[in-house]
Amino acid sequence: MNLYDQTLLDHNRNPRNFRTMPDATHTGEAENPLCGDYIAVCLRIEDGCVVDASFQGKACAVATASASMMTIAVQGQAVAGVSALHQSVMAFLNSQTDTAPSEVLEILARVRDYPVRIGCAELAWEAVRRALATRS
């Protein structure tokens, strides 16, 4: 199985929600000092629900695609649902479950065959976890 399928490449070349968010209520950052990847996530949370999500940063194709997919997956979710989704994604990426947490994230199954790249896919999800723990 090839890591770089068309969906992953499309999310890398045309990342969804790659933008600033001046009205963010929560922000979080994560970086991988070994490779230099950096992702910053912005969330706008209203009444306990993520109404908008975006990211910025400089990262490899896997990290960028994962961040793009993450912004799609968390929008419209309750904060508790995003926390649960984070845990599900981590379990899925680390082969603790074979079920993708959502249809949008199924493509990340390919990353599990490349253990050195799992950290790349986890980066945006770590930034989301940190965003939920802080307010802007």
CATH number of the domain at 81, please. Answer: 3.90.1010.10
Contacts within 8 Å (CB) and 24+ apart, 55-61 = 55/15, 55/17, 55/18, 55/124, 55/127, 56/18, 56/19, 56/20, 59/120, 59/123, 60/35, 60/120, 61/4, 61/8, 61/9, 61/12
Is 66 within a domain?
A: yes
Is 32 within a domain?
A: yes
How confident is the model at residue 136, as a pLDDT? 61
- Domains contained in the chain, number: 1
CB atoms near residue 7 (< 10 Å):
14
Regarding pTM above 0.75, the answer is yes
With b for 16 or more beta-carbon neighbours within 10 A and e for fewer, the 97-128 pattern comes to: eeebbbebbebbebbbeeeebbbbbbbbbbbb
How confident is the model at residue 1, as a pLDDT? 56
Is 57 within a domain?
A: yes
Is 71 within 8 Å of 79 (Cβ atoms)?
Answer: no
Is 31 within a domain?
A: yes
Is 1 within a domain?
A: no
Domain that holds residue 15: 6-132
**Per-residue pLDDT tens listing for the chain (136 residues):** 566 678 889 999 999 999 999 999 999 999 998 889 999 999 999 999 999 999 999 999 999 999 999 999 999 999 999 999 999 999 999 999 988 888 878 888 889 889 999 999 999 999 999 999 987 6
